Amino acid sequence: MKLSARYRSLTLLVILFVTGAAANAGEMYFTPSVVYTDDDKHRQVDDMVGGGQISFGWVLSERVSLEAMGGYSWLSGVNDLKIWDTSLNMLYSFSPDTNVSPYVIGGLGMTNTDSKVMDAESSALGTFGFGLMMRFGDGPVSLRLEHRVRSEFENTITNDDRITSLGLQYSFGGEPAPALPPVEQDGDEDGDGVLDSRDTCPGTPAGQAVDEYGCAQRFDSDGDGVFDDQDQCPNTVPDARVDARGCELDSDNDSVVDHKDKCPDTRAGARVDVSGCEIKEVIRLPGVNFESNSDRLLPGAEQVLADAAATLRMNQDLIIEVAGHTDSDGSAAFNAGLSERRAITVRDYLINRGVYKGNLTVKGYGEEAPIADNATREGKARNRRVELR
């Protein structure tokens, strides 16, 4: 079968146009499809699936494509038709950025019809239709479903065929999408809870409290003039003088800090008691008193004994007698036993605070050595005591 001159000319035009388009850098695609033809009733053939078409296109813009299409159909019936058609079409996509995109298509072309009862005829055609493009993820393959009307203009009998096609479209070429600029990750490199973009003090030490800008918060909880992050002796007593470490001064170096030192300027090397006074014979423990007729310590005694234990730990070569005393209430025999129990109470406390047990002995003196008048309540309270000798 020979194609008409007009049919051959249009075919050549389409090939040249698409070849020229392909020379450009735009994305291209081709789509092989199977077709179902609902033919014009004048053709006297059956509607059927028979034949196919292939489209070759070039993407002009995000929504617009130009494509050349060629198709072939055979239809059984009275005439047993064979139809070739070629067209140049424009396609407009409504939502090119989605996975399912509707579109419309329209164009002009040529058709050639051959049957067993009529000579071959060529005719100009117009085509218009709509379809759906369904993409498979980000890959180059899409499913294409389309329905269009093909109208002949110049045959002996003009025909309007309705063609439904289903095919796979494969895209290729085109410029790759520009790489996105790197997204800066806003982290927290020093782990202080302030993002790096706002952190004006990077490299904060672990555990350091910081303000909203990532800079160290400087607190002085004990009010000694040394910030907490540098204070090696927290909870300094109010108004105490401290060194650069935040530790209270010991001006005479007797190991008793100044606010507890009742004997400043102790001579170098002298052994001192918990009050910073040189040890001569007896270390009195002011504040270590007991309930009447009991070895139970009165409130306030534990802090004095804690200081005494600290002193004894610093002077581990001292052998200490823990001497217990009572007031004059009760019998002498009772008071002797009570004073010893009081001494044992103090000894056990010192041992529990780290004083070596072998350096401590215990003796109860009863009421024999008062330091105050037993005729008064205050005097009796002072006589209920323990001393270190």
> What are the pLDDT digits (tens) for 44-71?
555 556 788 999 999 998 899 999 999 8
CA–CA dist 388, 305 (Å, integer):
11
Residue extents of the structural domains in the chain: 5-173, 216-249, 281-388
For the chain, percent of residues with pLDDT exceeding 90: 20
Q: In terms of pLDDT, which residue wins out, 129 or 307?
A: 129
Closest CA to 148 of 125, 164, 132: 164
Average pLDDT, stretch 261-275? 76
Q: In terms of pLDDT, which residue wins out, 325 or 200?
A: 325
Residues 6+ apart with CB under 8 A from 360: 320, 321, 322, 347, 350, 351
Say whether 281-388 and 5-173 share the same fold. Answer: no
Kindly report the average pLDDT of the chain as a whole number: 80
> What's the pLDDT score for residue 21?
44
Domain 281-388 has CATH 3.30.200.20: no
The pTM of the full predicted model, rounded to 2 decimals, is 0.41
> What's the pLDDT score for residue 218?
74
> What are the pLDDT digits (tens) for 165-217?
999 999 988 665 566 566 556 778 888 888 888 888 888 888 777 777 878 77
> What's the pLDDT score for residue 192?
80
Average pLDDT, stretch 256-269? 80
Average pLDDT, stretch 303-320? 82
Least confident of 35-49, 308-322, 347-361: 35-49
> What are the pLDDT digits (tens) for 14-32?
444 444 444 344 689 999 9
> What's the pLDDT score for residue 177?
55
> What's the pLDDT score for residue 91?
95
> What's the pLDDT score for residue 9?
46
Q: Could you name the CATH architecture of 5-173? A: Beta Barrel (2.40)
User: Is pLDDT at 321 greater than 60 in this prediction?
Assistant: yes
- Confidence grade of residue 155 (pLDDT, cut at 50, 70, 90): low
The DSSP string of 256-280 is S-GGG-SS-SPPTT--B-TTSPBPS
| Largest distance between two CA atoms of the chain | 152
For the chain, percent of residues with pLDDT exceeding 70: 81
Q: In terms of pLDDT, which residue wins out, 7 or 289?
A: 289
Q: In terms of pLDDT, which residue wins out, 232 or 42?
A: 232
The burial class, CB within 10 Å (0-12 / 13-18 / 19+), for 224 is buried
> What's the pLDDT score for residue 93?
94
CA–CA dist 78, 382 (Å, integer):
137
- Please give the structure tokens belonging to residue 247: 């530790």
> What's the pLDDT score for residue 288?
81
User: Is pLDDT at 148 greater than 60 in this prediction?
Assistant: yes
> What's the pLDDT score for residue 30?
92
> What's the pLDDT score for residue 24?
40
User: Is pLDDT at 6 greater than 50 in this prediction?
Assistant: no
> What's the pLDDT score for residue 40?
54
3-state secondary structure 290-308: ECCCCCCECCCHHHHHHHH
φ, ψ of residue 19 to 5 degrees: the values are: -60, -40
> What are the pLDDT digits (tens) for 88-108?
999 999 988 888 999 999 999
> What are the pLDDT digits (tens) for 104-139?
999 999 988 777 666 677 888 899 999 999 998 888
> Which amino acid is residue 92, in one-letter code?
Y
Contact 62, 44 (CB under 8 A): no
Residues 6+ apart with CB under 8 A from 175: 25
Q: Return the exposure string of 51-70: e unless at least 16 CB atoms fall within 10 Å of the residue's CB, then b.
A: bebebbbbbeeeeebbbbbb
